[in-house]
A and B are shown apart, each in its own frame.
Chain A
């Protein structure tokens, strides 16, 4: 292999095509969800254990930082959900052509953002 072949890795200059943006955001949102797992499990535990811990959790979730956290994790979940469904269809050979892939990428970004806005409205 030619070790001197030119590389273009100036990340700031690379303009990602929309389906590539959907792909990298799928990774980022998945990574975020993984990192959030212990906090989400803790919240589930507190919501179920007793009325005292439920009330305590409701108090913690009322804090602005918690709301910001829920908004970010809510986005990560909704985005990962929408993009994941798109990938399942692509695995089944639906929507593989470039025009369709671009159109479904737009839908993924639009629907996940719209639902995230709804969560935001609900939180504040």
Chain B
């Protein structure tokens, strides 16, 4: 029987693929946002709020943020896996990171639809 421990390695192919897919999503959003900022040099509140009031921008901003959180999970998991030897400590860090990222999801919705 293969022993599978909760903080073990080798279960990462899906995460690996997700990391790449989310990277492409984030890159496209970042380039679009950079392009918009270059076209609006003297940024003010009215232009900023007008941009984020559109439901397309809200939706893609949330998609971007969700991509950030999924991507961050894979990256942080890789870092923790490499540098923290105790599986107990890894478990504690994983739980903390997952909870933080889930809270960020809720916070992101509140930010984008809360004005």
Please, how many angstroms separate the alpha-carbon atoms of A47 and B52 in the complex?
11
Once A47-B48, A50-B115 are accepted as A-B contacts, the answer to whether A41 and B107 lie under 8 Å apart by CB is: yes
Smallest distance from the beta carbon of B72 to chain A beta carbons, Å? Answer: 5
Q: B7 contacts the other chain (Cβ, under 8 Å)?
A: no
Interface size on B, residues (CB 8 A): 23
Q: Which residues of A contact B112 (CB under 8 A)?
A: 48
Once A31-B79, A34-B72, A34-B76 are accepted as A-B contacts, the answer to whether A48 and B111 lie under 8 Å apart by CB is: yes
Smallest distance from the beta carbon of B19 to chain A beta carbons, Å? Answer: 9
Q: Which residues of B contact A33 (CB under 8 A)?
A: 72
Main SS class of interface, B: helix
Stretch of A5-13, A65-73, A80-88, A103-111 contacting B (4+ beta carbons < 8 Å)? A80-88
Interface size on A, residues (CB 8 A): 23
Smallest distance from the beta carbon of A33 to chain B beta carbons, Å? Answer: 8
Q: Is B108 a contact of A41 with CB atoms below 8 Å?
A: yes
Smallest distance from the beta carbon of A119 to chain B beta carbons, Å? Answer: 11
Please list the residues of chain B having a beta carbon within 8 angstroms of any beta carbon in chain A. Answer: 20, 23-24, 27, 30, 45, 48-49, 52, 68, 72, 75-76, 78-79, 104, 107-108, 110-112, 114-115
